[in-house]
Amino acid sequence: MVEEPPRRGSRGEHCRHRWGGLRHRFSWGGCSRARACHADGLVESLGRARHRAGVAMTILDTLNEAQRIVGHYWKEEQSPEQARILGCARDALSFICSTGQPYRFEDYRKRLQAENPSRERSPSGTDRVPAMHEPSRDLAAEGFFERSRDELRSEPERALALVIIDALRFIASTGQLDDFNRYLQELDSNEPPRVVASFDTREQAETWLKNHPSPPHCASILIAGRYHTVAYDRETNGRYLPPSRDLEYYLVSLKQDSPPTATASFDTRQEAEAWLRAQSAPPRRTWALISGELYLAVYHPNVNHRALYPLSMADGFEINTEVEPEST
C-alpha cells in the first residue's frame, strides 16, 4: 500500500487560471470529483438518505451549487484577469473534492459561522477572518466574489458566493497552497486524475478504509490499477469503495485531443513494466506500445506509483463536451 503523505503547512504562489480545454473538463455544473461521486451513484444515495433524515443540503451539494455561481460569471468575451479569477475559484472548489476534504471544509465553515453567526447576511467586505500572510492569498479573487455578493439577486446565491470565498481562504489558512499549486500544474499538464493512495488488492484497501480515522471522502484511490472512489458518510460511519470511471473518461479525452503516439515499444508487458520501474525520473505520462496495443505509462508522484493503462479501457466511453445551460 502506498498513501499520499499528509499535507504540511506551507505557502505557495497565487492561483492561476486553467486555460482552454479544461473548461469542459471541469463543467460548471459541479466540481469534478463531486460529479464523479454522484455518477457512481453511491454518494448520491447517501445524500438522499440524509435528506430523508432532515438534512437540507450536503456539503457536496453546496460545492456543486457554488460551481454554478462561477459559471454565472463566465463569459466568452472577458478580460484575462477575470478568466484567471474564475478559473482559480473553480479549481479551488475542485481541489477540495479531489483531495477528499469536503467534511474538513464543512467544519471550517461551521467554525467561521460560530464566530460570526450573521456572516452570510453581512454586506460584502464586512466578513473577516483571522489575519494570514497576505502575499499567499489571492486577494483579487476574494474581492471579486465579495463584490458579487452585492450583485447577486437572491440570498441563497449570495451565500454560495461566500462558499467560494471560504474555499480560497480555507486552502490558504490550512497551509495547502503548495499542494494546490501542484494540483494546478497537474491540470495544466493534463495529468491523470489524482489519487491519494494505491493498493495491490481490495482487501488492503478495505483494511485501510476501515481503520482510517477520517476517510478522504470523494477522493480517488487505485486498487490493482483501477480507480475507485472513497465514499464516506460520517453521520452513519458508512464506508464504501465504488469503482470510478474517471480514468476511462480521461483516456477518451486524451484520444480526442490528439492521436496517441508511442514513445517506446515492447514485446511484452513485463518488459514495459521493467522499463517503467528502471526510470529514476519517469514521465508523468507517455504512450507505450505493448504487443501492438497502446498503453498509457503513468507516474503518480504523490503516492510514488507507476502504472500502465491500456487505451482499450476507453472503448465504449464518450465525452459530452456541450456546456449545460444555466438554470433560471
pLDDT reported for residue 122: 60
C-alpha cell at 225: 490499477
Residue 140 resides in a domain: yes
What is the pLDDT at residue 36?
Answer: 42
Q: What is the pLDDT of residue 157?
A: 84
**pLDDT value of position 275:** 97
Residue 194 in domain:
no
Distance, CA of 73 to CA of 292 (rounded, Å): 47
Q: Which of 140, 173, 188 is the last residue of a domain?
A: 188
What residue numbers bound the domain in which 56 lies?
2-188
User: What are the start-end ranges of the H helices in the chain?
Assistant: 22-25, 32-40, 42-52, 59-73, 80-98, 102-115, 139-151, 155-173, 177-188, 202-211, 246-257, 269-278
Asked if residue 252 and residue 184 are part of one domain, the reply reads no
Report the relative pairing of strands 226-229 and 220-223 from DSSP bridges: antiparallel
Among 188, 221, 237, residue at a domain's last position:
188
- pTM assigned to the model: 0.78
Give the domain-ending residue among 170, 188, 206.
Answer: 188
The reply to whether 92 and 175 lie within a common domain is yes
Q: How far apart are CA 223 and CA 272, in angstroms?
A: 20
> What is the pLDDT, as a whole number, of residue 75?
87
Kindly state whether residues 251 and 179 are assigned to the same domain: no
Which cell goes with 216? Answer: 478522504
Give the pLDDT score at 121. 65
Instruction: Compute and round to an integer the Cα radius of gyration of the chain.
Output: 20
Residues 275 and 136 in one domain: no
Please state the three-class secondary structure of 155-221 as a single string. Answer: HHHHHHHHHHHHHHHHHHHCCEHHHHHHHHHHHHCCCCCCCCEEECCHHHHHHHHHHCCCCCCCCEE
Position 229 in a domain: no
Structural domain contains residue 211 = no
Q: Is 68 in contact with 164 (CB distance < 8 Å)?
A: no
**Inside any domain, residue 95:** yes
117 and 6 in a common domain: yes
Please indicate, yes or no, whether residues 35 and 174 belong to a single structural domain of this protein: yes
Pairing of strands 220-223, 197-199: parallel
Alpha-carbon dihedral sign for residues 184, 187, 191, 192 = positive
**163 shares a domain with 16:** yes
Q: Is residue 29 part of a domain?
A: yes
* Nearest-angstrom CA–CA distance, 215 and 306: 23
Q: Say what the alpha-carbon torsion angle 207, 211, 214, 215 is, to the nearest 10 degrees.
A: 0
Task: Classify residue 318: in a domain, yes or no.
Answer: yes
In a domain, residue 224? The reply is: no
**Total domains in the fold of the chain:** 2
Check whether residue 128 and residue 257 sit in a common domain. no
Which residues does 139 contact at the CB level (< 8 Å), separation at least 6? none
* Residues ≥6 apart with Cβ < 8 Å to 138: 14, 15, 85, 88, 168
pLDDT in tens, the chain (328 residues): 666 655 443 333 223 233 233 333 333 333 444 434 433 444 444 454 444 444 446 899 999 999 988 888 888 888 888 888 899 999 999 999 999 999 999 999 999 999 988 777 665 544 554 444 444 457 777 888 888 777 777 888 888 889 999 999 999 999 999 999 999 999 989 999 999 999 999 999 999 999 999 999 999 999 999 999 999 999 999 999 999 999 999 999 999 988 899 999 999 999 999 999 999 999 999 999 999 999 999 999 999 999 999 999 999 988 765 555 555 4
Task: Please give the DSSP secondary-structure letter assigned to residue 290.
Answer: E
